[in-house]
Structure 1
Amino acid sequence: MTARPRLSIGLPVYNGEEYLAESLDALLGQTYEDFELVISDNASTDGTEEICRKYAARDSRVRYIRLLRNVGATPNHNYVFTQCRGELFKWASHDDLYARDLLRACVQALDERPEVILAHSGQAVIDGAGRLKIPYEYGLATDSPHPPERFRSLLVEPGGDDFYGVIRADVLRRVKPLDSYHHADRTFVAELTLHGPFHQVPELLYFRRDHPTRAERANPSKRARCVNLDPRRSGPLHPTPRLLAEYLGGFVSAIRRAPLSAADRRACHRHLLAWMTSRVRPGAGERIEDRAPVGPAGLTVSVDALVAGREDRASRAGRAGREGGPA
């Protein structure tokens, strides 16, 4: 591949053989095609390498990089970004699913709104089989023209998955790379909000898969999650109190680095102090995945119908429905 693509997708992966092919099918089946897909394999020990090489051989947009050792999830996320060439960038997870129009809708939003730095879409949680579990409303005010309001909203409202939106690469280069303390992705996104507003495409196009082997489930403690993010966190110099202190300090550092007026900087510090010294309102700290799954009446979309590579599942389900048998 010689021509510079408009969009780069960076997909860091470690031992992702169970769901990787489904995610690659969904990404490569997008209606928007001007992208490169860079896979950074963190020295996987399962069938990940074989899957990646197969896809790279049949689609010139795929570039496969295999690291010699497992450097941790955070360094791998940061590394894959450095290997990408597009003016727009998106991190992708090896186990999530993406509707065919996700990239097209996000790129179009960024083209139409030059002030917007990140575009994402409506989101839902799916289970290991790709069945819709929990669609959820995005309630953050990240589209506000006022940086302190965007920052305040991200602190106190149940979050979405803005980290996985389509982002202007030049903005990513201006913020501090992703860190590996507890909830470092939140401080990373918080710093992004201080550089410009986000836009949420009002369509359900992104599906986050919740399953027992997902990193958050497989590593239930703060220490375990941070060691997964970066193995260097396993030593005695990284107790849980330090990881939490780094999390709070990450917000302070983000405010300091951001291109804010003095008044906006003071407002952000006030919001942060209020959040640190009072209890977050009920529900604000919840995990979306822990909400009760919706019933059949709440399932207004079909994942199989929206996601490339799942057409056979959709047609089988349709036939079973018409015939009155199991899908």
Structure 2
Amino acid sequence: MNAAPRLSIGLPVYNGEKYLAESLDALLGQSYGDYKLIISDNASTDGTEEICRQYLAKDSRLSYYRQPVNIGATPNHNWTFEHSSTELFKWASYDDLYGRDLLARCIEALDDDPHLVLAHAYQAIIDGAGDIVLEVDYPLDTTNPHAPDRFRSLLFDVGGDDFYGVMRSDILRRTPLNGSYHHSDRTIMAELALYGRFHQVPELLFFRRDHPDRAERAKPTIRSRSANMEPSRASRLRNPTVRLIGEYVGGFVGGIRRAPLSSADRRECYGHLTRWLASRAVRRSTGRIEDSKPDAAPTAIPDSSAVAGQRRVAEG
């Protein structure tokens, strides 16, 4: 392994003892090993620290940092990237699982096409036991060569987990990183898509774990999700809901403003954003406009040889 690895993996965690070891095993068992794993423990109160220190003693690729207080999920995510200095970067979750060749296939794709800004892979949803419950399609038009079309798809289409893809660090540094408002992962991905295309490796290599403790299920409202991202957001006085929604929309506006677009492409993106806002307003009567569900459930993708005959991802 090179003295200076090409890739950093940022793993923010808070009270992750239930699934953390399984996730670390999947990351450390990757066929591509030229990376460093940066773990930021957000002042966990369970056995997370002990698990991390056990792995730290076994593998020199790990570095472990413990925040003195809970700084919130957003600062903790951003902290891992801000303390990286590699060519490539990837966020990882303490509860997801990763096929053995995920990193290798993503990096191969980025090396083959310098115009790609992000590479990820087909995904499946797993349950708490690691069983595959759904193989999901990727509906986003992120391979489109026209930046406004990619942006439009990130606005109107729901799906994908590109936030956990392998990204070019120099492009990610041009963004403000994650905001402490709900759905900030959507705004940062929309902004990255304005810089270049994404690639989906056509192999089932990413396994998103769905369980009752996931923040998006345990924190169902705008305020509770935002407060999970940054504790100060819990204040209704300083952070009224209208402000949180405004920052969400502002994240898209800022992305358009910062991206290296022509005047015509910039106008086209603003047009898509205006139409998206109008479509959200129309759906106000059926629920929160910013939390509208996709019109259709995720569709299955064809069977993959990567999981054929397997019941549990952890056994692969």
Whether TM exceeds 0.5 here: the answer is yes
Match of 1:98?
98
Q: Is the 8 A contact 1:38 1:62 kept in 2?
A: yes
TM-score relative to the length of structure 1: 0.88
Q: Is the 8 A contact 1:158 1:285 kept in 2?
A: no
Q: Is the 8 A contact 1:91 1:164 kept in 2?
A: yes
The Cα offsets for residues 259-295 of structure 1, whole Å up to 9 and x where unpaired, read as: 100000000001111111125899x94369x95898x
Cα 1:80–1:292 shift into 2, 3 Å? closer
The Cα offsets for residues 58-101 of structure 1, whole Å up to 9 and x where unpaired, read as: 01111111111110000000001111232100000000000001
Q: Is the 8 A contact 1:42 1:70 kept in 2?
A: yes
The sequence identity of aligned pairs, in percent, is: 60
Match of 2:260?
259
Q: Is the 8 A contact 2:121 2:204 kept in 1?
A: yes
Within a 5 Å distance, the mapping from 1:188-267 to structure 2 comes to: 188-235=188-235, 236-267=237-268
SS in 2 for 1:189: helix
Match of 1:3?
3
Match of 1:317?
none
Aligned residues: 306
Q: Is the 8 A contact 1:88 1:169 kept in 2?
A: yes
Distance 2:102 2:33 in 1: 11
Amino acid at match of 1:246: E
Distance 2:203 2:273 in 1: 31
Q: CA deviation at 1:47?
A: 0.2
Match of 2:145?
145
Cα RMSD for the two superposed structures: 2.5
Cα 1:302–1:184 shift into 2, 3 Å? same
Q: Is the 8 A contact 1:39 1:63 kept in 2?
A: yes
Match of 2:59?
59
Q: Is the 8 A contact 1:9 1:90 kept in 2?
A: yes
Cα 1:260–1:306 shift into 2, 3 Å? farther
Match of 1:113?
113
Q: CA deviation at 1:240?
A: 1.6
Distance 1:116 1:140 in 2: 15
Distance 2:112 2:133 in 1: 32
Amino acid at match of 2:293: E
SS in 2 for 1:77: helix
Cα 1:161–1:292 shift into 2, 3 Å? closer
Amino acid at match of 1:203: E
Gaps of 5+ in 1: 315-327
TM-score relative to the length of structure 2: 0.91
Q: CA deviation at 1:124?
A: 1.2
Q: Is the 8 A contact 1:100 1:306 kept in 2?
A: no
